[in-house]
Each structure stands twice: as structure tokens, then as C-alpha cells.
Structure 1
Amino acid sequence: MANIKSAKKRILVNETKAARNKAIRSKVKTAIKKVEAAVAAGDKAAAQTALQVAITEIEKACTKGVYHKNNAARKVSRVTKAVNTLA
């Protein structure tokens, strides 16, 4: 356990940031799963609306620094491609 005051603060701050990042990642994963479920069901309208929500969540996560921009772009590309296969 840390004895120095600044080290104790770093531990608290790191826990807070880790919890925030985990919540954001969870939101992104849930949004992507909803898109994949709609694609699996073959529901194009639901897939389109879920895709918009998923892209928004991924972009927010990227802006907040949770995901690297290339990682976010790859995720957007994959879900978009999955929805476009329904056409």
C-alpha cells in the first residue's frame, strides 16, 4: 500500500478513470451487440437505427480517449459493413 500522499491520490484517480472507461466500453459493446442482433434477425430498419446509435457511442468513446481513432474507425466500419449486407 502506498504511504506517500500523492501516490494515494494517484490510486484513487486511476480507479475513478478505470471505472469511467469501463462504463464507456460497456456502452459501446452493448450498442454493437444490438446492431448484430438486428442483422442476425434480418430486420433492416432496426439495424439502421441501432447502427446510428452504435456509431454515436463509438465516436463519443473515441473523443473521450477510451479508444484510439483507428480502433474506433475499424469498429464503425465493421458494424456498417454488417448492416450493408442486408441490402
Structure 2
Amino acid sequence: MYASKASKLSNPSQQTPKKVKEISTAIFMFILCALSYALFVFVIFGLKEMIVKGVGMSGANKATFGDERVGGMVRGRRMFENKGH
């Protein structure tokens, strides 16, 4: 009888760290998803804004205008295109 009581007492202490680990993993995954979503939205809106503002200009003006406005968005995209994607 004493042994069963002891095992019952030791069980919750074994379960709690696992639960804490699961919760922390869930929070970490949620933050990761939120950050990736925010980055995705930022890139989409940044490119859209750049395209809308760049309409009606020559190619060179569009690139410099985009660089001034969005700050490196165009340069990063050029680097990405040069890699052959």
C-alpha cells in the first residue's frame, strides 16, 4: 500500500515537466508562425507598394525610386534573381 502511494506521488512530478515542455514548444511554434506570416505580408505589401509607385516611370527611375522608398527591397530582389531562380 505504501509503495502504491509513493508511485502515485512520483507520477505527477514526472508529468509536469513534459507538459511544460509541450506548452513552451507550442508557444515557440506559434511565435515562429506569426513571425514568418508577418515577414510574408511585409514582403507582399512592400513589393505591391513599390510596383504601384513605380508605374509610369522608366526602368532606371523605378529601381532608384524603389530603393529610396522601400530601402533595399529592390537590391535584395536583384541579388535573388541573379542567382538563377
TM-score (norm 2): 0.49
In terms of fraction of residues, the more helix-rich structure is 2
- The structure that has the greater radius of gyration is 2
TM-score (norm 1): 0.48
- Larger relative CO (CA 8 A, sep 6+): 1 or 2? 1
